[in-house]
Structure 1
Amino acid sequence: MRFIGTMIVEKDRHQYQDLIALFNGQFKQALNTVLVAGDGEPLYQPANSDSENHQVIFAHGFYASALHEIAHWCVAGEARRQQLDYGYWYCPDGRDAAQQAAFEKVEIKPQAIEWGLAAACGFAFNVSSDNLNGVMPDRLAFQHRVHDQVLLYLQQGFPARAQRLIDAFRAFYQRPALTLADFDYRGMYER
């Protein structure tokens, strides 16, 4: 067990199977959508002849990947949720400065939601610039933009599906309501 900010992180406390059960309990019936642990890269797969449910597929059973993919699903509107990977482009690792800036611009809201979901679980969050083989991003500047979005969500409310999951995660992990203290990023890169 270790302390991170206001959170106590227990190694075995965060199991991806719990996220699957909580997500599916909220959205399998209501929105015909399930969370699935995948073997490869993450993917959003709308219902088709192979699956009667829409599938939010996260990578390799990683808890953090599940939270990230759930956050993208929470941002996607109805029309986007009818398209493979929400119909978005993805420029892989190795992006130049312009491509990285475009990537970060569309990642602010999902990563702010991911941070809210992680805080509701008592799970440590780190922004992901996802460009190890490209131009070195200004990770701290990106962190500030994500943090600003989290503060806006705290003031104005998270999107409805995200809030529904935040409430379910908080109840499961017996966590208090989210406050500013849950989003203190000082020292985040010292871990």
Structure 2
Amino acid sequence: MSSVELHTLPTEKWESGVEQLLACLNPWLESNWQTTLVAAPEEPFYKPASLKGSYHQIQFAHGYFSSALHELAHWCVAGENRRLLPDYGYWYEPDGRTAEQQKLFEQVEVKPQAIEWHFTQACQRTFNVSADNLTGEATDISRFQKSVTMQMRYYEQHGLPKRASSIKQRLQAAFQSP
């Protein structure tokens, strides 16, 4: 099964650069990890393979480039056992979270967003920390932004996790970034 068969969102709805992103990463994901990055019409979701020989799917939202990078970052953080569970077995409360729910959300988002930041730079795009809670209780996200920045710098100094490093190298080559 090729990754082309798995794309569920028509290519004309993809954001600019997504086709290049998928062409760069899916052959590597498929051959090394039995995984494919899929532009989905709904919210992001990780779907483990249900049949032998089928692919795990990293589904990113609405064909958005930044969503693809963010979901890839979550995949890089998830361990082997978590990659066998729908959405890695994590709790997720959608937009509209209470202040307490937002605090929990931010705790699990620091590493993925720091990795996403590296991916975004490799693609020569601009990264923005996302609290992803537009309709929820107002909270001060400055501590979260600082935590993501500190984690990104830690990765700069000590290196990214192995899968994230491999992805960043592929992105740098595909998007011709330094």
Shorter-chain TM band:
0.7 to 0.9
Q: 1:150 aligns with which of 135, 142, 152?
A: 152
**Which of residues 18, 21, 27 is equivalent to 1:19?**
21
- Which residue in the other structure is 2:30 paired with? 28
State the distance in 2 between where 1:101 and 1:151 align.
22
SS at match of 2:37: strand
How far apart are the structure 1 equivalents of 2:146 and 2:162? 24
Runs (5+) with no aligned partner, structure 1: 1-12, 177-191
| Kept in 2: contact 1:129–1:137 (CA 8 A) | no
**Aligned match for 1:81, one of 80, 83, 88:** 83
Report the counterpart of residue 48 of structure 2 in structure 1.
46
**More off after superposition, 41-50 vs 73-82:** 41-50
Within 5 Å, which residues of 2 pair with 1:96-175? Answer: 96-175=98-177
Superposition RMSD in Å: 1.6
How many angstroms apart in 1 are the aligned matches of 2:68 and 2:53?
19
1:53 alignment partner AA: Y
Instruction: Name the aligned partner's letter for residue 32 of structure 2.
Output: A
User: Please, what TM-score do these two structures have when normalized by structure 1?
Assistant: 0.82
- Tell me the TM-score normalized by structure 2: 0.88
Give the Cα separation in 1 of the matches to 2:111 and 2:139.
18
Q: Secondary structure at the match of 1:125?
A: coil
Number of residue equivalences? 164
Question: 2:12 maps to which residue?
Answer: none
d(CA) in 2 for partners of 1:49, 1:119: 36
Residue type at the aligned position of 2:154: L
Deviations 1:113-172 (A, max 9, x none): 000000011011111101111112323321111000001101111011110011011111
1:68-103 Cα distance to aligned partner (Å, 9 max, x none)? 111100100000000000001111111111111110
- Whether the 8 Å CA contact 1:131–1:137 is kept in 2: the answer is no
